[in-house]
Chains A and B, each alone.
Chain A
């Protein structure tokens, strides 16, 4: 792609994330509403870096208790036993159950941590104005966007295991304190993906003098 590619922002045009319509803010204004669907428009998502960082940092903090605290407590006649997510993966490992064990390992441990790292990488490179690997970075963003929801798998596993195994006094399963932190990691990373504006990846590839305010009012 030629480095001379023209962006909508350079032409003072805003595209609507709701309906896709391209429109020009009124003279003197930097923001307005989409004339077709009424959505509030901006050249880039508002405070994208700050909001995304806030979500990513919050998710990284919650990631620790999510993995250290137990997510399920099993009570049997022999006593109570608490399992963290990783212990759950190990327990699931058996000659027949190993594929599911891998699914949980990938969905609950690898995806959430990879998501946090990937978002931090995208934020840092975009903020430093990196011009390298733009295509790969936007592809990484789309991958994170697509795959993120699958981390919820473990929340559903624990929900339905606990709901079904209620056979007091034989055996009962209750959700543990780690579950809420784990759910928080999933939700926070999903919100981070939504608040990150992938167009920021490309902004440094455009000529530096093309800042929004200077080109808005032709």
Chain B
């Protein structure tokens, strides 16, 4: 088992202490070696091996995937994100489903679904549908675009880190693939009463589901984190000092 007690004790570190053990605004002191990590599912302390591109490292205790190294992550993710952005715009501007019954026609977009719920008085559910089907996917794509563009710089600006921190949340609540299964079921239900006309958006959304999955799979957040400008800049200098001490001793 790797020993975490490197030399980080030796550095000086300024912090603000608020009322003893209360939460402080102070920055923690980083471990000298950033390959030393703890599994987020079982807290096991371990050192990330330097793995090959395409390979993944798993926690030996709980089998959580800790890191999968991606090939050419930023470029590939950028390409897929741009494709997703275009598809997203198309998918939300054309009808998704239509039907005809005894000479009458009706059609709806994704937004139209949420809008109708709102008009029916189901405002909270309407907001949830709007959020999971339209807002969260937009954030998922938009924030990813910001990260892969800003993260290309040698020293990624600090705001990239703030976005990257919240990006997983948009991924959890972005539910286009779930919506598509729901639409499929609705389609079969409606087919009992009327002739269903699949809209352009229906096909575009199915493609988008796979592009989004590819976008997430090609992205390697460690690559960006390694280059991010630190919130506590002084801490980074301290760490760098530690590393020099380790190497020279």
Contact = CB atoms under 8 A, between A and B. Distances in A.
A11 B1 CA distance: 12
B124 interface: yes
Contact of B28 (A33, A96, A154): A33
Which interface residue of A11, A153, A202 has the most chain B CB atoms within 10 A? A153
Which interface residue of A17, A31, A41, A159 has the most chain B CB atoms within 10 A? A159
B87 interface: no
Contacts of B183: 156-157, 160
Contacts of B25: 32-33
A156 B182 contact: yes
B28 A34 contact: yes
A110 to B, nearest CB: 15
A112 B36 CA distance: 38
Interface string B91-130: 0000011110110101110001111110010101100110
Contacts of A134: 42, 62
Which interface residue of A20, A156, A198 has the most chain B CB atoms within 10 A? A156
B141 interface: no
Contact of B61 (A1, A163, A190, A194): A1
B106 to A, nearest CB: 6
B222 A20 contact: yes
Given A1-B60, A30-B21, A149-B178, A175 B120 contact: yes
B54 interface: no
Interface string A121-139: 0000000000000110011
A91 B178 CA distance: 21
A64 B44 CA distance: 39
A93 B37 CA distance: 50
**B interface majority secondary structure:** mixed
Contacts of B90: none
Interface string B217-249: 000011001001011100110000000000000
B29 A174 contact: no
A162 B159 CA distance: 42
A179 B108 contact: no
**A interface majority secondary structure:** mixed
Nearest to B29: A24
B148 interface: no
B37 A165 contact: no
Interface residues of A, number: 84
Given A5-B1, A198-B42, A35 B231 contact: yes
B118 to A, nearest CB: 11
A49 interface: no
Interface stretch (B73-81, B161-169, B207-215): B161-169
Nearest to A1: B61
Interface in B1-39: 1, 4-5, 8-9, 13, 15, 17, 20-21, 23-31, 34, 36-38
A87 interface: no
Nearest to A30: B21
B53 interface: no
B189 interface: yes
Contacts of A139: 63
Contacts of B185: 92, 100, 103-104, 153, 157
A163 B4 contact: no
A209 B219 CA distance: 40
Given A8-B45, A174-B120, A35 B162 contact: no
B86 interface: no
Nearest to A150: B178
Given A11-B45, A36-B225, 18 more contacts: A1-B60, A7-B45, A8-B43, A18-B161, A22-B34, A24-B31, A26-B15, A26-B27, A33-B26, A41-B28, A141-B41, A161-B189, A163-B115, A163-B116, A165-B106, A167-B106, A170-B102, A202-B42
Name the 3 nearest CB pairs between A and B, nearest first. A156-B182, A8-B38, A23-B28
6 contacts: A29-B15, A30-B21, A36-B161, A36-B230, A100-B185, A199-B42
